[in-house]
Structure 1
């Protein structure tokens, strides 16, 4: 059993340590991090999962971006501690957060990841959506209302006009 909760300010360093553990050194050099730099994550969707001993087992974050002129969410990173992988925690975090995106006013979510894994949550390959290089376009996935949405993904600059 895991306790799923909104990430709190006091969780930041523990969550960052989890991401450092789960991802390769230099993770912050990826193009997705350039889209996050200086932008606040969406707090209502950035979640932690703790085991009964209150040890951090997983975390997920979401960031606002623009695709062309349209708002979207960029999911990631999502990580599960290596000792807790295979217990379904990644799926629990995905469902807990994705179930709230539309009610919070975000009609579409994108990520850069492996289609075979994320397709089970409903993600499809996006065409006409260009992440900053050097992103493999086959790994750009989305869920939600993407009809007619195309263009470059760029940093969030605030609400739509």
Structure 2
């Protein structure tokens, strides 16, 4: 595998959409609107990080990061996701490579930290942990995790951009 990570380009959008649909199609805990969320974030100018993974010029993965708000007023926090890898390419390290690149990019932009909703077993490998006092309403505590790049973890309720309310 010859994996290369780069920023998304306008000509990638159609392929990113198809990839995102396929990646979440069989996921039982999915709203199946992830592709609509990415499109809405892009239209709103809220894709802080949008990276694709290429294997010999074929897009095999994508990750999006967008700003979140914390009820305490803490600034500089972002939400990771969705992250997508073609189903037949999962388990090959593509998602992990995208995660590392996306977090490095976010740190490089001066972010304070990042939150993610998902499998603690996967995201824990990158330093994400659930924290008492930081919550996403309606989500079991262990699935909402945070990683601080600088300073203390904020306390409060996190809200993702309105693009996450994409219609089903």
Q: TM-score, normalised by structure 2?
A: 0.78
* Cα contact 1:39–1:156 (8 A) shared by 2: no
Aligned length: 150
Q: Which residue of 2 aligns with 1:6?
A: 7
**Is the CA contact 1:22–1:81 (under 8 Å) kept in the aligned structure 2?**
yes
Secondary structure, counterpart of 1:90 in structure 2: helix
Moved over 2 A (4+): 24-29, 35-39, 145-148, 154-157
Q: Alignment partner of 1:101: what SS?
A: helix
Give the Cα separation in 2 of the matches to 1:115 and 1:48. 23
Measure, in 1, the Cα distance between the counterparts of 2:14 and 2:151.
34
Alignment partners' CA distance in 1, 2:132 and 2:33: 25
Q: Which residue of 2 aligns with 1:104?
A: 109
1:19-67 Cα offsets, whole Å, 9 max, x none, are 11111473328xx88x95946111xx21001111x22100000010111
Residue 143 of structure 1 is matched in structure 2 by 147
Aligned CA RMSD, in angstroms, stands at: 2.5
Unaligned runs of 5+ in 1: none
Question: 2:46 matched to which residue of 1?
Answer: 40
Residue number in structure 2 paired with 1:59: 62
- Partner SS for 2:108: coil
- In structure 2, the gaps of 5 or more residues are 163-168
Quote how far apart the aligned CAs of 1:146 are. 6.5
CA contact (8 A) 2:64 2:81 kept: yes
